[in-house]
Structure 1
Amino acid sequence: MKLLPVLAICGLVLVSVVESKDLIVGTNLSNRLIWQHKVEYNSIPLKKRVKEEFFSDPGQQIIKGIIARDLDHTDSSATITAGGVGYSYVNLRFKSERGSGLNYQVEVYA
């Protein structure tokens, strides 16, 4: 019975990643913003830029939502490589398209 909510969340993650380049996992409705950060990385011609960001809550609150918005609306990507919803930490990996930089606004809700 616990498998059904996990499958539903995975399905929503896949739909949100396929439809846009913004990463939206979990929910921010009636949850408290515990971390907000801007991820920026300058562009280098003909190169892809990769940056990793790590957040760990010192109060060990469980993360209920993560939003990473691409402010430049490029074809760059944001993925969760460790932790995330259901954990008290998250590791995010950002990868730009060739010749572009990164400009993301990241919000974590608990």
Structure 2
Amino acid sequence: MRVILIIAVISTLLWCACGSNFVVGNVANRVDLRHHEQVQYNAIPFIKRVKYFFYTDPQNKVIEGIQALDNLHSKSSINITAGGVGSTFVNLRLKSERGGALDYDIGIYTRPDFI
């Protein structure tokens, strides 16, 4: 029993340390990639870097999904500060680990016109 608990704790810690990809909503079935952008920010030693990403759909289409993939597999974090799935805009806040850089591929998905 103790061995199983130790293995579970170690696997959970390894899973948490492998990066911070962010997926909200539907990004796989019957949606179109509406906007793609690579967000990068250089590292400064001993400082956490914060970058904001703003997207508003020019045709007022409702956002179905948001996907942000961490290319560096770092311990950075990403949050939705306004809008998001079910809205026509989204504001994201990206924060790096101390002394680390940011490198995200951000995709915004909407419902296609033919559905």
TM over 0.5: yes
Interval of TM-score (by shorter of Structure 1 and Structure 2)? 0.7 to 0.9
Spell out structure 1 runs of 4+ moving beyond 3 A: none
Mapped partners of 2:68, 2:76: distance in 1: 11
CA deviation profile, 1:22-70 (whole Å, cap 9, x unmatched) = 1100011210110000000000000000000100001000000000010
The unaligned stretches of length 5 or more in structure 1 are: 1-17
What is aligned with 1:27?
26
Mapped partners of 1:50, 1:101: distance in 2: 10
CA deviation profile, 1:67-105 (whole Å, cap 9, x unmatched) = 001000000011100000000000000000000010000
Name the TM-score, length of structure 2 as normaliser.
0.78
Mapped partners of 1:40, 1:60: distance in 2: 27
What is aligned with 2:3?
none
The alpha-carbon deviation at position 21 of structure 1 amounts to: 1.2
Mapped partners of 1:71, 1:80: distance in 2: 19
The unaligned stretches of length 5 or more in structure 2 are: 1-14, 111-115
What is aligned with 1:3?
none
Name the TM-score, length of structure 1 as normaliser.
0.81
CA RMSD of aligned residues (A): 1.3
Greater radius of gyration (CA): 2
Mapped partners of 1:105, 1:45: distance in 2: 23
- Taking every aligned residue pair, what percent have the same amino acid on both sides? 45
Give, as a single letter, the amino acid of the residue that structure 2 aligns with 1:47. I
How many pairs align?
Answer: 93
